[in-house]
Amino acid sequence: MLGMTTTTEIKQLLHAEATRLGFDVFGVAPVDAALRGEYYERWIAEGKHGEMAWLARNNDRRLAPARLIAGADGTPQARSLVVVGMNYYQQEPARGYRIAKYALGRDYHNVLLKRLQKMCAVLREHGGAQRPYVDTGPILEKALAARAGLGWQGKSTILLHPKLGTWLTLGVIVTTLELPPDAPGTDRCGACTACVDACPTGAITAPYQLDARRCLAYLLIEHHGPIPEEFREAVGNRLFGCDECLDVCPWNKWAQATREVAFTPREYPDLRTMLAWTEEDFRAHTQGTPLARLKLPRLKRNACVVLGNVGEAADLPALEALARDADAVVAEHAQWAVARLRAKFL
């Protein structure tokens, strides 16, 4: 069959399958795509990736995608990178705390990966060997998506699509088939600095540069220790993640509500209730969602900070109980919140 079907036709078949599976955008990047490797290596060397140690590993493949599939002798065999995106935009439910929009429903990693595997089956029928990735390997998804024509990396470093804005989850398939690449996206940020100006902690240190150690999304999700006091007030009512630099982007004026039912917002109780959760409660409410990644102590840590910022006097008993928690990080954050609320209400 390989000799009967052109690579252009294979790409068309794959694009049709991606659309059938619910992906909103599709493109192909060459394996020799320029990936700002010098900047990335300097970013790692300066420690701006924080505790995300996996970002410093396997960079021989991360910055040279042809090596993501190799022969027995180590010879690079990857020839193309297929990049797809799924729109996750929707209004966040009204409640006393905020969850980043991508995390409102089911975990997108699982949603996308199963569908990428179905796309891999199409490529396999035409002689390809493939590996699918959804934030699970040494892949610079946003840079590759821009090279595949899905948009451009904005000054926040987030991928921007001219019609869907900032609201895309990305998946990548590495294949040994050499598919026709798409034209790269064109940077359309112009003189706009809305995302830079809006960042609550100055984590976007310059256009196109991010210090993850200052980013609220990093601090609330990836960071395992205490949230530095200098950033706690900036957390505001954010329980999981931060959409500030995404929300303010002017390109979102064309944003469309997602069609993916898996992203339908999960219902959660108020924070006072969450503070009393057991491990069983936590699993029952968060299984299959991005919030499950936090584990219960970090969820309680975050909830304490939110209540310290926007809580009421009625929240004090729940926080005072946690101020004696066996987990030292949880206890310290509860004590911080108690002090804030007592100063405000008592």
Q: Which residues form the catalytic set?
A: 135
Alpha helices in the chain (DSSP H): 7-20, 37-45, 59-62, 108-125, 141-147, 194-198, 216-217, 229-235, 244-247, 271-275, 279-286, 295-310, 316-322, 328-345
Helix/strand/coil (H, E, C) string of 77-97? Answer: CCCEEEEEEEECCCCCCCCCC
Strands 168-175 vs 80-87: parallel, antiparallel or unpaired:
antiparallel
Q: How far apart are CA 67 and CA 85, in angstroms?
A: 23
Q: How far apart are CA 285 and CA 152, in angstroms?
A: 36
Q: How far apart are CA 133 and CA 108, in angstroms?
A: 12
Task: Give the residues across from 132 on adjacent strands.
Answer: 173
